[in-house]
């Protein structure tokens, strides 16, 4: 549900405010968060349905699952600000 609310902020920044000013960074941050949340759900589903991974982490609280989740978080913590900076540096173009 959090992903839907954050996506709503991204849509608002894009459609209503046309990525003007601070809304450009808000759009980049919110889309990064939405992508992270969706990837977390996808990884969780893979761990639940792939038998090899399910045997490594049957309750989703074992070390292999936690390592993957922390790695994903680290990846998005590093790439998120990069995306914001690179998206904010570009001139605002009409679509």
pTM value surpassing 0.85: yes
pLDDT one digit per residue (tens) for the chain, 95 residues: 899 999 999 999 999 999 999 999 999 999 999 999 999 999 999 999 999 999 999 999 999 999 999 999 999 999 999 988 998 766 666 55
Whole-Å CA distances, 85 to 33, 42, 72, 90 = 15, 27, 20, 9
Buried b (16+ CB within 10 A) or exposed e, 63-92: eebeebbeeeeeebeeebeebbeebeeeee
Residues whose CB is less than 8 angstroms from the CB of residue 92 and which lie 6 or more positions away in sequence, other chains included: 18, 19, 20, 24
Is residue 77 within 8 Å of residue 22, measured between CB atoms? no
Q: Count the neighbouring beta carbons within 10 Å of the beta carbon of residue 48.
A: 12
């Amino acid at each position: 549900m959090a992903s839907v609310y954050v996506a709503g902020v991204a849509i608002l920044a894009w459609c209503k405010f046309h990525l003007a000013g601070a809304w450009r960074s808000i759009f980049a941050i919110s889309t990064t968060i939405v992508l992270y949340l969706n990837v977390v759900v996808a990884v969780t589903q893979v761990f639940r349905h792939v038998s090899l991974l399910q045997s490594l982490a049957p309750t989703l609280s074992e070390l292999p699952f936690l390592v993957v989740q922390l790695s994903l978080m680290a990846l998005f913590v590093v790439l998120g600000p990069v995306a914001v900076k690179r998206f904010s540096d570009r001139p605002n173009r009409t679509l």
